[in-house]
Amino acid sequence: MIEEQTYEEVLDIIVAADSRYQHAAYYFVREGLGYTQQSISQKETVVARHISGQELLEGMRAYALEQYGPMALVVLGEWGIHRCEDFGEIVFNMVEYELLAKTDKDSRDDFKGGYDFEDVFQKPFLPPRSPDESSVSGSRNITPVSDENPDRSGHLPEPEASDK
């Protein structure tokens, strides 16, 4: 009789075979898939259906921002996820070990060209740029040098005494 392996045991095998991604990345993808299915079922009033690669990418983006906010880029990076294609690699590793299912139409290519991680996980949290920041001097504190202080030490010369 063959003993069935637990989810964690199968993950150990996957991570041993492909060490690019940490265990947490696989848990995140599984949870993100559930998040995506729930989001879609609320919009479409369907119980469950197959999720496309592009739908999953959008769900992963929303889930990461909801869970980690401005730290999403850092957290995903720590787990080895740096681009949309990494989500595809994780999904297909899970498919290969029968933790997820796929249709004949699904492929790793479904995860190519999704979105730029910095655009979706970092830029929304950056302060808005003001129009004067486009010049170099607008973004730095530059003190002009005057003729009175040619040595640039920051110390003004002593005033000269007047005889008046």
> Is residue 152 assigned to a domain?
no
> Is residue 150 assigned to a domain?
no
Alpha helices in the chain (DSSP H): 7-17, 23-44, 53-68, 72-78, 84-96, 117-121
Q: Structural domain tally of the chain?
A: 1
pLDDT at 10: 96
Give 101-139 pLDDT, tens digit per residue. Answer: 999 999 999 999 899 999 999 999 999 887 765 555 445
Residues of the domain holding 28? 7-124
What sign for the dihedral angle of Cα 17, 21, 26, 27?
A: positive
**Contact indicator for 41, 99 with CB cutoff of 8 Å:** no
Per-position DSSP letters for 53-73, written without gaps between them: HHHHHHHHHHHHHHHHGGGHH
